[in-house]
């Protein structure tokens, strides 16, 4: 069909419906070399006849794109529940982040990068995922990553380069791309960037690099409590997103053998407990167990020699517990939370959060448990652990509420809204 539309004489077989794609009389009677040579010889010896066929094919194209599109549009309009064509502007985006290739996607259910990309794509944007941690840095060429991104940019010409939990590009690379293609640069970051976390100073310096060239920042802590040289007008809160294909569990339907679940790791990429590594969360859990005096049954990973578990093994442990504790490293700070929060609430587990994190700004008492201190936490667990019906109802509400606020299509739309100053498509509850 393409060859005929370009003015070629096309020889086709008698099978496969090829004769229906254009007006063609060059059909092999039999599919064998002798018939093909016979027809080719005829065309070579009769140049006038060959030219007439070529002109006729070029002038009388049957299946034009316009006809097909018109037919599809008529069909779409005739359907009672047909989808409306998205007329909003969409964008070409390079998302530079850790997409978990080096760890064989062991962390797929925790990956904010994956969830954001999925949300951007579902909203109609075109996204190239570039895993900078899997890029082969040449020992004698420290600019190899930047060169690769420049090469991709020259071919793709993105509207946005989104730096996911990194600030890996050189200043001259960012300047070059912004000047050449007017590309926006934004950065999201999920680790603590304020006092309390032992690495906060390092994390803060990382994101502050080239802050004058980066258009917008998205962090998983409330911007109002952060001290930084970055302009406050550029910093936005980033909720931990959920994805319906990833947080697909309904764990409130499972039988519960434990009262509370908690998991700790010494770095998700490391994957195992580190020797001689101290985490202040150990003291919190240890005091909680002592205070409960064997009245609460705990399921704890990452402490007391129990190695962390991941993805489906993690979920198997989680789904057997009535509640789950969300406890972040670095102490409780406003909106600062582990990325496991999406796994807990998104899969329908009643989640316990320190009231100083202020997630009661988003969820009410029918959706989460907030506590003031160890004693308050123990008392609330003792009160609710013998009421499975109430636990299930609150867990159902928790999942529903989390998806209604923080689904990745909503969070990704917020990024586009802030970066390109577009109109809102959703009610972003965290911006009130």
Q: 199: pLDDT confidence band, cut at 50, 70 and 90?
A: confident
Instruction: Look up the domain containing 116 and give its range.
Output: 92-237
CATH assignment of the domain containing 312: 3.40.50.2000
How much is the pLDDT for 19? 61
User: Which tens digit of pLDDT belongs to each residue from 112-159?
Assistant: 999 999 999 999 999 999 999 988 655 556 679 999 999 999 999 999
Q: Is the pLDDT of residue 222 over 80?
A: yes
257 and 381 housed in the same domain: yes
Tell me if 418 is assigned to some domain: no
* Cβ proximity of 320 and 257 under 8 Å: yes
Phi and psi at residue 367, to the nearest 5°: -125, -30
How much is the pLDDT for 282? 87
CA 296 to CA 344: how far, in whole Å?
19
CA 354 to CA 205: how far, in whole Å?
28
Strand 298-301's sheet: what is its strand order? Answer: 298-301, 258-263, 321-325, 350-354, 368-371
Q: 82: pLDDT confidence band, cut at 50, 70 and 90?
A: very low
Strand 126-131's sheet: what is its strand order? Answer: 126-131, 92-97, 160-164, 184-189, 216-219, 235-237
306 and 336 housed in the same domain: yes
Q: Which stretch of DSSP H or E encloses residue 342?
A: helix 340-346
Mean pLDDT of 186-209: 90
Q: How many residues in total does the chain contain?
A: 432
User: Which tens digit of pLDDT belongs to each residue from 323-347?
Assistant: 999 998 878 999 999 899 999 999 9
61 and 124 housed in the same domain: no
Tell me if 412 is assigned to some domain: no
User: Which tens digit of pLDDT belongs to each residue from 363-380?
Assistant: 998 999 999 999 999 999
Q: Are strands 258-263 and 235-237 parallel, antiparallel or unpaired?
A: unpaired
Tell me if 430 is assigned to some domain: no
What value, to the nearest 5°, has the Cα angle with vertex 411 and ends 351 and 240?
A: 30
Least confident of 120-134, 281-295, 297-311, 417-431: 297-311
Tell me if 53 is assigned to some domain: yes
Q: How many structural domains is the chain composed of? A: 3
Q: Is the pLDDT of residue 231 over 80?
A: yes
Q: Domain boundary residue among 185, 213, 237?
A: 237
97 and 231 housed in the same domain: yes
Q: Is the pLDDT of residue 81 over 70?
A: no
The rounded percent of the chain whose pLDDT value lies above 90 is 65
117 and 22 housed in the same domain: no
User: Which tens digit of pLDDT belongs to each residue from 304-328?
Assistant: 878 888 999 999 999 999 999 999 8
39 and 119 housed in the same domain: no
32 and 178 housed in the same domain: no
Average pLDDT, the chain: 89
107 and 8 housed in the same domain: no
129 and 48 housed in the same domain: no
How much is the pLDDT for 244? 97
Tell me if 417 is assigned to some domain: no
Mean pLDDT of 291-302: 94
Q: Which residues contact 365 (CB under 8 A, 6 or more apart)?
A: none
Tell me if 422 is assigned to some domain: no
Q: Are strands 216-219 and 258-263 parallel, antiparallel or unpaired?
A: unpaired
CA 73 to CA 76: how far, in whole Å?
5
How much is the pLDDT for 398? 96
Tell me if 414 is assigned to some domain: no
401: tokens are 């509420």
Mean pLDDT of 244-264: 96
Q: Is the pLDDT of residue 285 over 90?
A: yes
Q: Is the pLDDT of residue 181 over 50?
A: yes
142 and 274 housed in the same domain: no
Q: 267: pLDDT confidence band, cut at 50, 70 and 90?
A: low
Q: Is the pLDDT of residue 221 over 80?
A: yes
DSSP β-bridge partners for residue 263: 301
């Amino acid at each position: 069909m393409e060859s005929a539309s370009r003015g070629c004489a096309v020889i086709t077989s008698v099978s496969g419906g090829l004769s229906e794609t254009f007006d063609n009389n060059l059909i092999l009677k039999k599919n064998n070399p002798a018939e093909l040579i016979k027809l080719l010889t005829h065309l070579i010896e009769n140049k006038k006849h060959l030219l007439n066929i070529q002109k006729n094919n070029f002038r009388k194209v049957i299946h034009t794109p316009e006809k097909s599109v018109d037919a599809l549009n008529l069909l779409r309009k005739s359907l009672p529940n047909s989808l409306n064509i998205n007329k909003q502007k969409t964008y070409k985006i390079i998302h530079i982040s850790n997409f978990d290739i080096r760890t064989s996607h062991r962390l797929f259910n925790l990956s904010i990068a994956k969830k954001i990309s999925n949300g951007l794509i579902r909203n109609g944007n075109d996204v190239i995922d570039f895993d900078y941690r899997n890029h082969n840095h040449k020992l004698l060429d420290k600019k190899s990553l930047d060169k690769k991104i420049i090469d991709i940019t020259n071919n793709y010409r993105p509207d946005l380069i989104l730096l996911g939990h990194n600030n890996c590009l050189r200043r001259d690379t960012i300047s070059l791309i912004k000047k050449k293609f007017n590309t926006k640069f934004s950065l999201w970051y999920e680790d603590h960037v304020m006092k309390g976390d032992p690495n906060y100073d390092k994390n803060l310096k990382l994101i502050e690099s080239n802050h004058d060239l980066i258009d917008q920042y998205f962090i998983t802590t409330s911007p109002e409590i952060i001290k930084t040289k970055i302009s406050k007008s550029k910093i936005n809160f980033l909720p931990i997103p959920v994805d319906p294909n990833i947080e697909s569990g309904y764990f409130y339907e499972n039988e519960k053998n434990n009262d509370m679940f908690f998991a700790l790791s010494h770095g998700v990429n490391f994957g195992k407990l580190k020797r001689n590594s101290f985490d202040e969360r150990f003291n919190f859990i240890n005091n909680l167990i002592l205070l409960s005096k064997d009245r609460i049954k705990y399921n704890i990973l990452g402490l007391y020699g129990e190695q962390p578990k991941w993805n489906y093994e993690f979920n198997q442990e989680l789904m057997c517990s009535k509640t789950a504790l969300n406890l972040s490293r670095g102490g409780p700070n406003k909106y600062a939370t582990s990325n496991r929060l999406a796994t807990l609430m998104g899969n329908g587990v009643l989640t316990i959060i320190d009231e100083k994190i202020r997630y009661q700004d988003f969820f009410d008492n029918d959706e989460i448990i907030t506590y003031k201190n160890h004693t308050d936490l123990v008392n609330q667990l003792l009160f609710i652990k013998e009421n499975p019906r109430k636990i299930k109802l609150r867990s159902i509400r928790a999942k529903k509420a989390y998806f209604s606020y923080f689904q990745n299509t909503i969070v990704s739309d917020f990024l586009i809204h802030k970066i390109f100053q577009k109109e809102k498509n959703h009610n972003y509850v965290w911006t009130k």
